[in-house]
């Protein structure tokens, strides 16, 4: 699969996972602990994997953007 095709999946997925993390983090006192634990914990691990994949797919851009001049 081409890099751009993968990024079209990875980028929105990262956004959704980030939103779930944010919402469950902010509202953790309002939702049952078991639901919080499953949602926040699982999406947290998935978010790390998705973000690392995003960074790896864009590694050349990161090297260029953060290279010392």
DSSP characters over 20-43:
HHHHHHHTTTTS-HHHHHHHHHHH
Residue 10: pLDDT band (50, 70, 90) is very high
Alpha-carbon gap, residue 44 to 40, rounded angstroms: 6
Domain with 39, as residue range(s), is: 3-63
Residue 69: the pLDDT is: 65
The domain total for the chain is 1
Is 7 a member of any domain? yes
Residue 1: the pLDDT is: 83
Per-residue pLDDT for 50 more than 70? yes
Is 68 a member of any domain? no
Mean pLDDT of 52-61: 95
Per-residue pLDDT for 41 more than 80? yes
Per-residue pLDDT for 3 more than 70? yes
b/e code 25-52 from CB counts within 10 Å (16+ = b): eeeeeeeeeeebeebbeebeebbeebee
Is 47 a member of any domain? yes
Is 69 a member of any domain? no
């Amino acid at each position: 699969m081409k890099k751009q095709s993968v990024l079209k999946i990875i980028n929105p997925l990262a956004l959704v996972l980030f939103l779930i993390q944010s919402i469950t983090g902010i509202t953790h006192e309002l939702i049952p602990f078991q639901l919080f634990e499953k949602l926040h914990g699982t999406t947290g691990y998935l978010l790390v994997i998705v973000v690392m994949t995003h960074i790896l797919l864009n590694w050349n851009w990161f090297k260029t953007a953060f290279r010392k001049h």
